[in-house]
Chain A
Amino acid sequence: MEEIEASGTGMPQLDITTFSNQIFWLVVTLVVLFYIMSRVALPRVAAVLADRRGTITSDIAAAEDYKLRAQEAEAAYNKALADARVEAQSIIDAAKAEMQEELDQQIAKANAEIAAKSSESERRIREIRDSAMEMVTQVSKDATGDIVEAFGVPAEASRIDEAVSARLKGGAA
């Protein structure tokens, strides 16, 4: 505090001889600063801020657009998927029906063949049985004729036939 006493002027703030100087330079400074700020600095910053706001809005709009398009694409994809599924189902059904039809045909054909074959076999079996019967009859008759002749009785073919037939029929019955 000594140096203040020494300077003797008290507070420099109350020294009115310097007021005019300070006021003059303050006014100059404020005018210069105002022109720099309002003409150069603030419009630039405002332009940058407006630019950014514009960019952000347009980016958001673009993002919105992309989102919409993505949703559309997803819907289309889902639709395609559903269509493909339906088509695949119809193809499967058609193939199944075709296969079934063919299978039925084959089965019917096979059944017919089997039936034909079995009837043929039956017919042959019957033939064989018939011929075997015929042969048995013939052999019986021949043997009977031989046996009757061996007894020394003249064999009458018609009677022997009758007798053997009657016997066989009775035996068969």
Chain B
Amino acid sequence: MEGDIAEMGKFIGVGLTAIGMGGAAMGVGNIAGNYLSGALRNPSAAPGQQAMLFVGIAFAEALGIFSFLVALLLMFAV
């Protein structure tokens, strides 16, 4: 019984980490949207900033991946 409750808590925690994905999605969407609106205002400057776009997306995405990592750790390591 006690083990079942611990298991349940584990699954609830893992499920909650999926909320982190939403944050990463907002961040990536924000970066991509702002890049697009900037690129539409000044298309000639857009190609030069593509590297920065990918770096920014990578940073935002990394945080979503951290939540995934926490989920995995809870699921298998704890």
Contacts and interface: CB of A to CB of B under 8 A. Distances in A.
Chains A and B touch each other in the complex, with CB atoms below 8 Å apart: yes
Interface of A: 4, 10-11, 14
Nearest to B76: A10
Contacts of B76: 4, 10-11, 14
A12 to B, nearest CB: 9
B72 interface: yes
10 contacts: A4-B76, A10-B76, A10-B77, A11-B72, A11-B73, A11-B76, A11-B77, A14-B73, A14-B76, A14-B77
Interface residues of B, number: 4
Contacts of A4: 76
A90 to B, nearest CB: 62
Interface in B56-78: 72-73, 76-77
A2 to B, nearest CB: 13
A11 B73 CA distance: 8
A46 B44 CA distance: 30
A4 B72 CA distance: 12
Contacts of A14: 73, 76-77
Contacts of A11: 72-73, 76-77
Most chain A CB within a 10 A radius of its CB, from B72, B73, B76, B77: B76
A10 B74 CA distance: 10
Contacts of B77: 10-11, 14
B75 to A, nearest CB: 8
Nearest to A10: B76
A11 B76 CA distance: 6
A10 B72 CA distance: 9
